């Protein structure tokens, strides 16, 4: 089975407080690391969603010991309300969403998320639907590509890169080819801490998977499905996601919805965790709590 180290487990448990018992939803269950910790800490039951069918299959195996306390579903986290409605569930005691690409997706051959291997350029989290990254690039015009790379990758050479991608036509079918075209398009100016293709890969992945689309709507819906005293925890891995989570939670609090933001500043992993799991470096956790009922 693929390995994956869930980030900030102790902090998730602190803010989600599953020791209260009750029903929790892990909207991005992945390989089940956070779900296991939540159940071990006292959650009565857990519903886990993931848009990646391979992750759901692996989580089903890794969480099998919990039996009927766990239900795992292949589905996008933004569909969580439909999942609850289909089961006649009005509200829950805690909701976790761990955004971004997982270590399993990055490391598993054939997924096309990383330029560390030359393989088909897929990048879909849900391999059962939608266009691959190769298809999306091939069917997009230069302006669209430039906007995607600038907005989602915060890449200042976005126009140069888009021009190069458009000129390459339909030849960009693998991760290696995409990385090569991007690297050649960016002017070289000495040593760079990250590979020149990194921001473009991030941008295309976000675009293909619509990672930012509807995140604010999801957070508002999640806040509305919490029991009194219920908790919402969101983990992000880049500034675009974190900005949406921060502003949405603050707006919900200011609007008098009864939601209180628990984290004035984002919680980040400590140095020991980053040393053990370098991919945790960019993680940020924000949390909120639904108001208790008086009396």
CATH assignment of the domain containing 256 = 3.40.50.150
Structure tokens at 44: 């009565």
Chain segment 261-272, per-residue pLDDT in tens: 999 999 999 999
Looking at residue 1, its pLDDT comes to 43
Residue 273 lies in a domain: yes
Domain range enclosing 58:
9-100+212-290
Phi, psi of 208 (to 5 degrees): -65, -35
> What pLDDT is recorded for position 293?
72
Evaluate if residue 193 carries a pLDDT over 90: no
Q: Based on the domain organization, do 157 and 120 belong to the same domain?
A: yes
pLDDT at 128: 92
Q: Helix (H) and strand (E) counts for the chain?
A: 13, 7
Whether residue 105 is contained in a domain is answered as: no
* pTM (2 d.p.): 0.93
Tally of domains in the chain: 2
* Domain CATH number, residue 183: 1.10.150.170
Q: Which of 178, 209, 240 is the last residue before a domain boundary?
A: 209
Residue 4 within a domain: no
Q: What is the pLDDT of residue 103?
A: 73
Mean pLDDT of 201-226: 96
> Is residue 248 a part of any domain in this protein?
yes
Are residue 222 and residue 95 in the same domain, yes or no? yes
Domain contains 1: no
Is residue 160 domain-resident? yes
Rounded mean pLDDT, 4-12: 90
* pLDDT for the residue numbered 267: 97
116/204 same-domain check? yes
Regarding whether 149 and 28 lie in a shared domain, the answer is: no
- Looking at the fold, whether 193 and 248 belong to one and the same domain comes out as no
Q: Does 236 score more than 70 pLDDT? A: yes
Assess whether 133 and 184 both reside in one domain: yes
Element (H, E) at 86: helix 80-86
What angle is formed at CA 235 by the lines to CA 149 and CA 76, rounded to 5 degrees?
75
- Residue 147: count other Cβ atoms within 10 Å of its Cβ: 17
Q: Which of 209, 236, 263 is the last residue of a domain?
A: 209
253 domain-assigned: yes
Higher pLDDT, 295 or 236: 236
Q: Are residues 277 and 264 in the same domain?
A: yes
Same structural domain, 85 and 217:
yes
User: How much is the pLDDT for 190?
Assistant: 65
Q: Are residues 204 and 182 in the same domain?
A: yes
pLDDT number for residue 4: 64
Q: Of 209, 231, 252, which residue is a domain's last?
A: 209
Contact between residue 95 and residue 20 where contact means Cβ atoms under 8 Å apart:
no
pLDDT in tens, 59-116: 999 999 999 999 999 999 999 999 999 999 999 999 999 997 877 777 788 899 999 8
Beta-sheet strand order (sheet of 226-236) = 70-74, 45-50, 23-26, 92-98, 226-236, 284-290, 259-261
Tell me if 23 is assigned to some domain.
yes
Asked if residue 41 lies in contact with residue 63, where contact means CB atoms within 8 angstroms, the answer is no
The answer to whether residues 178 and 246 belong to one domain is no
Q: Say which residue, 100 or 158, is predicted with more confidence.
A: 158
Q: In this structure, are 205 and 251 located in the same domain? A: no
Q: Are the C-beta atoms of residues 205 and 123 closer than 8 Å to each other?
A: yes
Based on the fold, state whether residues 55 and 126 are members of the same structural domain.
Answer: no
CA distance to 145, 165, 174, 197, per residue, from 140 (Å): 6, 10, 17, 19
């Amino acid at each position: 089975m693929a390995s994956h180290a869930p980030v900030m487990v102790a902090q998730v448990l602190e803010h989600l407080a599953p020791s209260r018992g009750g029903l929790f939803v892990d909207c991005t269950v992945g390989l089940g690391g956070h779900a296991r910790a939540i159940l071990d800490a006292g959650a009565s039951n857990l519903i886990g969603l993931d848009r990646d069918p391979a992750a759901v299959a692996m989580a089903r195996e890794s969480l099998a010991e919990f039996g009927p306390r766990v239900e795992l579903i292949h589905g996008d986290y933004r569909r969580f309300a439909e999942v609850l409605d289909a089961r006649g569930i009005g509200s829950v005691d805690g909701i976790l969403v761990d955004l971004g690409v997982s270590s399993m997706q990055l490391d598993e051959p054939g997924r096309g998320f990383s330029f560390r291997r030359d393989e088909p350029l897929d990048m879909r989290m849900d391999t059962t639907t939608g266009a691959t990254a190769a298809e999306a690039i091939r069917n997009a015009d230069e302006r669209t590509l430039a906007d995607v790379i600038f907005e989602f990758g915060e890449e200042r050479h976005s126009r140069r890169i888009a021009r190069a991608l458009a000129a390459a036509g339909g030849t960009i079918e693998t991760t290696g080819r995409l990385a090569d075209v991007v690297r050649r398009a960016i002017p070289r100016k000495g040593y760079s801490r990250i590979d020149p293709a990194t921001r473009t890969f991030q941008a295309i992945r976000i675009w293909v998977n619509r990672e930012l689309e509807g995140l604010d709507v999801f957070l508002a819906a999640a806040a509305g499905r919490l029991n009194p005293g219920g908790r919402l925890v969101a983990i992000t891995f880049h500034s675009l996601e974190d900005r949406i989570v921060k502003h949405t939670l603050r707006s919900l609090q200011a609007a008098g919805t009864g939601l209180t933001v628990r984290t004035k500043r984002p919680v980040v992993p400590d140095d020991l965790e980053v040393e053990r799991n370098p991919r945790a470096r960019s993680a940020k956790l924000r949390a909120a709590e639904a108001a208790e009922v008086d009396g």
